[in-house]
Amino acid sequence: MKILSDTHIHSDNSFDAENTVLEMCQAAVENDISIIAITDHMEAPEIKLGDRSVFGNMIKQITNSVKDAEVANELMNGKLRVLRGMELGEPMHEPKLTKKAMAIADFDFVLASIHNIRNTEDFYYLNYDEVDVPDLLRCYFDELLETAENADFDSLAHLTYPLRYIIERTDIRPDLEDYSAVIDNILKTLVKRDKALEINTSGIRSIGITMPDIKIVKRFRELGGKYVTIGSDAHRNSDVGYMIEKGIETARTCGFEYFTVFEKRQPELIQIWY
Ligand SMILES: [Zn+2]
Ligand SMILES: [Zn+2]
């Protein structure tokens, strides 16, 4: 039987998303998806700001997100499994506060992300004419390695995230071969710690490739990677399930016979049907 999952979804409990958890669930059902994870944003450095954060109070937002996911899972009554997740940004910038975030609920699934390196803004906001791109990428991969080695999470989200903005907004086409040593170390660390690598399909829309691309996913497999999760990173209901089948196909092409979903932080392997 063909089973599709989308385990990277934002609801209106994220500052940058607009639809309710239920609306996201309805969109999943319409797209023949049988398992989703709601993974709203939790940016570790924002926790200390509480209500003063420009993103809103993230502790409250995640508390609500988890409640909404639980209610939706009940309402969907077996038609759709709704997992309680979180996208944890920059956990190593604030390890103590991160613990506080992890204690909000019994999460099913935790994604770890880097949206900004220390003491800079989100890659989304950077002016790439003023940035030393090779240096930025080196810092990004170093911080991801630090995260892969130390953070408490299940799957590493959208590896190569800055490429999306660099390729979209500049003529620079970074050659990832220049970073192959550190990328290998990240992948080896995931293997050693039994963590998953996310295949994020949102990059297909903006830059024509998954994040990470097929070459890195293949390398993860070569190095002994067992778990891949597939996520659309939908921020609105029309994007739920976006290119999920393409993401699964990418996993298959790279030698994975299964993709993974996490419930109660435990991996569950789902056979790829083709
Ligand atoms: Zn993200
Ligand atoms: Zn996301």
Query: pLDDT digits over 187-224, tens only?
Result: 999 999 999 999 999 999 999 999 999 999 999 999 99
The pLDDT tens digits for 59-74 are: 999 999 999 999 999 9
What is the Å distance from ligand 2's center to 50 Cα?
21
What is the Å distance from ligand 2's center to 207 Cα?
16
Element (H, E) at 15: none
Q: For residue 110, what are the β-bridge partners?
A: 86
Mean per-residue pLDDT, 246-272 = 98
What is the Å distance from ligand 1's center to 77 Cα?
29
Give the torsion sign (CA, 106, 107, 110, 115). negative
> Which pLDDT does position 2 carry in this prediction?
87
Mean per-residue pLDDT, 246-273 = 97
Angle at 248 between CA 88 and CA 65, to 5 degrees: 30
What is the Å distance from ligand 1's center to 81 Cα?
22
What is the Å distance from ligand 1's center to 111 Cα?
9
Indicate whether 251 pLDDT > 80. Answer: yes
How big is the chain, counted in residues? Answer: 274
Do the bridges between strand 258-263 and strand 266-271 make them parallel or antiparallel, or are there none, so unpaired? antiparallel
The pLDDT tens digits for 134-145 are: 999 999 999 999
Could you tell me the two tokens for 159? 């590896």
Q: How many domains does the chain have?
A: 1
What is the Å distance from ligand 1's center to 213 Cα?
16
Which structural domain, as residue segments, surrounds residue 106?
5-271
Ligand at shortest distance from the CA of 112: 1
CATH of the domain at 207: 3.20.20.140
What is the Å distance from ligand 2's center to 9 Cα?
7
Of 269, 238, 248, 181, give the one whose Cα is nearest residue 28.
238
More confident residue, 210 or 1: 210
State what percent of residues in the chain have pLDDT above 70.
100
- Secondary structure of residue 35 in the 3-state scheme: strand
